[in-house]
Structure formats: C-alpha cells, structure tokens
Amino acid sequence: MCGRFAVTLPPDAMAQLFSAVPGNDLPPVPNYNVCPTNQIHVVRSDDGQRRLGAMRWGFLPHWYKATNAGPLLINARAETIAEKPAFKAACRERRCLIPATGFYEWTKDEGGARLPWYIRPAGEGPLVFAGVWQDWERDGEAYRTCAIVTCGANAQMSAIHHRMPVILAPEDWGKWLGEEGRGAATLMAPAPEGALTFFRVGTEVNSNRASGAQLIEPLSP
C-alpha cells in the first residue's frame, strides 16, 4: 500500500515536467509528511490539456453521503480496480498522475514497534504514481478526490511490504492519462528491480503531525 509520502518539487517545476497548466489552489511544498485527506498535487488530462491541480487524497465514491460514510479509500488495488464499484468508472475515464519525492512504509520489530522506511528513486527525478480521481459533492461540501493505484511488491520491496504504488515511467504518462489510446491496464505492474532504494528513518514520522526535512534523513548506522 501507500499511506504516507513526501513531495518537494516546486509547483512550477511540476508544471514544466508534465507540460501542464498549473492551478491556483496548489498545496505548499515541500511537505515531507503527506497524509491521507491532505490536499495533494495531481495531474489530469482535460480535453487534451494537462492540468496540475489539488485533490483530496482519499477517494469518495458518489454514493457516500458524507466524507466519513465509508472506508477511507486512499489506495486502489490494480488487480480489482476495473471491477470494484468505487473505482471502475474512474479507471476507465478519470486516471491521473501523482508526483512524489518518495514514500514511507513500515516494518515491526520483535516487540511490535513500528519502524519506518523511506523509499525513493534509485536515480534522479521524482516518482510518479498512477492514480484515479472522482468529484464528490453533498450538502454544500464539494471535493475533487483521488486514490493511488497499488500492485504487488517486486522482490526488492517485498522485504518491507507486500504492496507498492504503481510507479509510471515518463514514456507511460500519456497512456495512463488516456492520451494515447488503450493499454493502461498493462502499466499496473511493479517497478523494475533496482528502480528504488530505501533506508530506515526515525520514528518521528510515525506521527501524522511531524514535519520537516529531518523525516527523510537516514538513521545513523
């Protein structure tokens, strides 16, 4: 799964990277502790034009009568996304890109304590997660919401967690956004072995109120 991530790329650099028109509602960066229900940076395609805007991380199906009317859907499983009632229409019609600098996962020690790991690209550049989005409105509340698509972990990542975000290469961004015809389903696979690197970080990030660049600093040996 993916339950927390970091993003440090400035909005103007994101807009340039994705050839997208930036919105005026973008959340501040850097943010080293992006949490569910936060507003996050998302790229979608609108009539052939890519747009960089803000969305609530936590997909709200249209039948939810309130934001807390059901489970918090921050992830969508690649294996079932095309059939699940919450996601199947979005999978066909409303796919998006979610940029990140890295993300967190947790293991446990023998006493059950949660030990955070930070996962980032092995090379240069950001991570770009596959996502789906949905507009939701009820009783005067309106949100544009999204979820990160996840798949089974590759061998490298399975040492930490059995799931991982679907990470898209630049040549696949247009296909995922629906700009290049069919074939998006083929992209929902684990990242190649060696594409990511990871290391232990301090337990401060276990709190969703923690902030600052120190959250992604490797623990001293």
- Reply yes or no on whether 105 is catalytic: yes
Cβ atoms within 10 Å, residue 57? 26
Beta bridge partners of 54: 41
CA distance 40 to 51: 13
Q: Return the structure tokens found at 65.
A: 């009568």
| Collapsed DSSP state (helix, strand, coil) of residue 139 | coil
Instruction: Determine contact, residues 4/34, Cβ cutoff 8 Å.
Output: yes
- Catalytic member of 96, 105, 146, 151: 105
Instruction: Determine contact, residues 114/106, Cβ cutoff 8 Å.
Output: yes
- Catalytic member of 2, 96, 146, 151: 2
Residues belonging to the active site: 2, 105
